[in-house]
Amino acid sequence: MASSEGKSTRAESSPVESAVEADAVAPDAKEKGLVHYLGVAVSGAVFVMVLAIAVLVIVLPAFVGGSALTVLTSSMSPKFPPGTLIIIKPTAIDEIRVGDVLTYQITSGQPAVISHRVITRSVTLEGETTFITKGDNNDLADPDPIMEVQVEGTLWYAIPGLGYINNLVNGDTRPWVTPIVAGLLFAYAGYTVISSIVGRRRKRAAVALDASPARSELAVPSTPSHVYDEK
């Protein structure tokens, strides 16, 4: 009786070799996945922060008919130092009280304004309400009483440091800068969401491929076959 051993034409990997290859690839895949999710998290945080700033600086003031102004001097320090963004909302004269921060025109009909705190509220013989104001950091009150026609509004809220950014997109630049920035933000948000969805789908597809029967058969080494010829 003679026997001959069949030879395989394809190299088969042993379970140990497959495990070593998986261990070599896994750390790199995990590192890439961590970097991806970290990037998505940072991008999302930046987007939310910028969106919140846009709402505070543009949307809310426009909703109440107010305006965003930048503190340029130290007269209201330390609470409102230079660079602070203050949001002014229209306020009825009867609702303005002592202690409110009042924004008023330096000269009636002119755009230049001052924001100081009301320290005195009085009514003239003609029935007009006037205000005496003073900067928190000033030793003396402002010399002239503020007339009703000069009043722009009162302080609604303030954001430290954001006034410098507001100055960059103020005046003639705001009408075209704001839509561009908003468009870029929404485009970036869409890109982040889509890339995250695509990444998750690719990961699920890879996991499904690894778990498929065909892939499992390739990973299992075959036993060499023997052919016996009997005479």
DSSP letters, 165-201, are: HHHHT-GGGHHHHHHHHHHHHHHHHHHHHHHHHHHHH
pTM over 0.85: no
Within a domain: residue 57? no
Within a domain: residue 160? yes
Within a domain: residue 148? yes
E-only strand ranges, the chain: 2-5, 67-70, 85-89, 101-105, 113-123, 129-134, 151-159, 226-229
Within a domain: residue 115? yes
pLDDT tens per residue, range 154-188: 999 999 988 877 776 666 666 666 667 667 767 77
Within a domain: residue 141? yes
Does the pLDDT value for residue 84 go beyond 90?
yes
Within a domain: residue 20? no
- Tell me what pLDDT residue 16 has: 47
Within a domain: residue 231? no
Does the pLDDT value for residue 17 go beyond 90?
no
When comparing pLDDT for 121 and 29, which is higher? 121
CATH number at residue 147: 2.10.109.10
When comparing pLDDT for 124 and 182, which is higher? 124
Q: 154 is in which domain, residue-wise?
A: 68-165
Q: What is the mean pLDDT of residues 2-23?
A: 49
- How many domains is the chain built from? 1
Query: Alpha-carbon distance 216 to 17, whole Å?
Result: 15
Within a domain: residue 214? no
